[in-house]
């Protein structure tokens, strides 16, 4: 491994905050990989790991995002467009009448993105015939743990992915211990949130309150009435080990991965 490659790999982890260090790193990498030749320098400086993975694989590829409407500005259609995707599709189960669709279209217009497709469907129910052929690159974040059937989601994502899936999900720590008590899950485990007791919820709430800034997590922090047609609550929380295994059993290979949100979420770059 040469010096530039070593710097690149270290930078992906340490992400230097000092501007002079970042600029010098970019200069060194640019010598090795000049602009227009698939420069890795630009990827190093992309803050969001999901955006880094998209930038790495999407140029010249068809792209679909599953579940990108929530929050609007969290969508990755614009990121894929920026890094050279040849076609753009968003798939979301949100009702067509909800303002999120209008907000998304307004955001696309503000970014001068006009050519994209919208599919209003639950990904677990979608058939390949409905989209014609798989997308080269698929991005899915914040969906898996909101669905009562996570393996169905994974099977559906595998069905619509031709080359790469970029997947992000919240995960659980194997041991959570605080002033409220101790909660432990084996490395192979998954929390089925409808089954947690009130005593367990108190321990989990004390942990998650630190990371949610007072926002509710229905089912986990806040009690919820679970209905299999309701995707608002959190249904599941896998460990990092379990999440990676779920990806593998449906036919994906793990190319890269990283923990985010103070180790409470994991993003994986997966290949077919």
CA distances (Å), origin 126, targets 26, 122, 123, 152, 258: 43, 6, 5, 11, 29
How high is the pLDDT of residue 213?
Answer: 85
Residues 125-176 pLDDT 10s: 988 888 889 999 999 999 999 999 999 999 999 999 999 999 999 999 999 9
Report the range of poorest mean pLDDT among 2-6, 67-71, 95-99, 250-254.
2-6
Quick check: 82 and 110 in contact, CB under 8 A?
Answer: no
* Helix ranges restricted to H, 74-193: 77-82, 99-110, 128-131, 150-160
Whole-angstrom distance, CA of residue 215 vs CA of residue 7: 38
Nearest to 168 by CA among 253, 238, 95: 238
Count, in order, helices (H) and strands (E) of the chain. Answer: 10, 11
Lowest mean pLDDT among 10-24, 43-57, 250-264: 10-24
Report pLDDT digits (tens) over 28-68.
544 444 433 345 556 667 889 999 999 999 999 999 999 98
Question: Which residue is associated with the tokens 């420069």?
Answer: 39
pLDDT tens across 113-123, in order?
Answer: 999 999 999 99
> Under a CB-based contact definition with an 8 Å cutoff, are residues 163 and 137 in contact?
yes
4-32 average pLDDT score: 46
User: DSSP 3-state assignment of 164?
Assistant: strand
Dump pLDDT digits (tens) for 176-218. 999 999 999 999 999 999 999 999 999 999 999 999 988 889 9
Residue 45: which residues within 8 A CB-CB, separation 6 or more? 22, 26
pLDDT surpasses 60 at 103? yes
Cβ–Cβ under 8 Å, residues 153 and 123 = yes
Token pair belonging to 252: 């994906």
Q: So what's the architecture of 49-171+239-271 in CATH?
A: 3-Layer(aba) Sandwich (3.40)
CA distances from 51 to 45, 129, 140, 195, 257 (A): 10, 29, 12, 35, 13
State the span(s) of the chain assigned CATH 3.40.50.150: 49-171+239-271
Quick one: pLDDT at residue 97? 86
DSSP state of 262: T
């Amino acid at each position: 491994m040469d010096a530039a490659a070593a710097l690149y790999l270290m930078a992906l982890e340490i992400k230097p905050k000092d501007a002079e260090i970042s600029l010098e790193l970019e200069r060194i990498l640019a010598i090795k990989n000049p602009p227009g030749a698939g420069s890795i320098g630009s990827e190093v400086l992309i803050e969001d790991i999901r955006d880094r993975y998209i930038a790495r694989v999407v140029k010249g590829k068809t792209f679909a995002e599953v579940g990108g409407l929530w929050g609007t500005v969290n969508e990755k259609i614009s990121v894929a467009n920026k890094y050279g995707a040849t076609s753009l599709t968003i798939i979301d189960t949100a009702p067509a009448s909800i303002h999120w669709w209008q907000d998304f279209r307004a955001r696309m217009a503000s970014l001068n993105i006009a050519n994209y497709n919208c599919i209003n469907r639950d990904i677990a129910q979608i058939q390949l015939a409905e989209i014609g052929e798989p997308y080269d690159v698929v991005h899915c974040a914040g969906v898996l743990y909101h669905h009562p059937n996570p393996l169905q989601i994974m099977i559906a994502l595998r069905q619509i992915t031709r080359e790469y899936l970029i997947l992000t999900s919240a995960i659980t720590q194997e041991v959570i211990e605080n002033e409220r008590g101790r909660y432990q899950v084996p490395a192979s485990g998954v929390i089925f949130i409808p089954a947690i007791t009130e005593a367990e919820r108190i321990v989990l709430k004390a942990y998650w309150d630190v990371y949610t800034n007072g926002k509710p997590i229905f089912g986990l922090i806040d009690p919820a009435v679970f209905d299999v047609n309701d995707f608002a609550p959190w249904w599941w929380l896998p460990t990092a080990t379990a999440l990676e295994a779920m990806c593998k059993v449906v036919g994906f290979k793990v190319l890269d991965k990283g923990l985010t949100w103070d180790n409470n979420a994991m993003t994986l770059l997966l290949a077919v």
